[in-house]
Structure 1
Amino acid sequence: MTDKQKAMAYWKENLKYLTILLVIWFLSSYGAGILFKDALNKIQFGGFKLGFWFAQQGSIYVFVILIFVYVRLMNKLDEKYGFDE
């Protein structure tokens, strides 16, 4: 595999990871906090309705977790394609 092919494969896999993580973030913030809030509000979490909790705090927690997941995925991807330090 040439360096250019390696870089293209790396970037393609990186975009796949980004797309998946952004979809998860979208579903947890916009989906759970706005679109599905009525259904989620039937469930209580810590004394609050789940739709309200996702709109106020849950999406932030999911975002922070996704940052750590992305770092881990990128470290593995760097090792796979030999771009690690």
Structure 2
Amino acid sequence: MSEKQKKATAYWKENLKYLIILLSIWFAVSYGAGILFREALNEFRLGGFKLGFWFAQQGSIYVFVILIFVYVRLMNKLDKKYGYDE
């Protein structure tokens, strides 16, 4: 295996690790907070709405947008680390 191919494989493995972690966070927030833990979260209020309802309607979307920015930042650092930046 050439050095370039080893570098590309390591880059892809690290990229997949980031994807799995970030999508797991999104899943935990959208499914966990919006569905599984809805009853417990509904005892709290945010902006006049029950917290479980808020996560199901708005929170998971906000978390997803934040995770997009986190992913962009991580990928920019990863590109620099492996020399794929422009």
Report the Cα offset of residue 55 of structure 1. Answer: 0.3
Name stretches of at least 5 consecutive residues in structure 2 with no aligned partner.
none
- TM-score calculated relative to the size of structure 2: 0.96
Is 1:66 the counterpart of 2:67? The answer is: yes
Cα RMSD (Å): 1.0
Report the Cα offset of residue 46 of structure 1. Answer: 1.0
Q: Which stretches of structure 1, 4 residues or more, deviate above 3 A after TM superposition?
A: none
Tell me the residue number matched to 2:43.
42
Residue deviations 1:31-62, cap 9 Å, x none? 10001100111111111110000000000000
Tell me the residue number matched to 1:2.
3
Tell me the residue number matched to 2:27.
26
Q: Number of residue pairs matched?
A: 85
- TM-score calculated relative to the size of structure 1: 0.97
Q: CA separation in 2, counterparts of 1:13 and 1:39?
A: 36
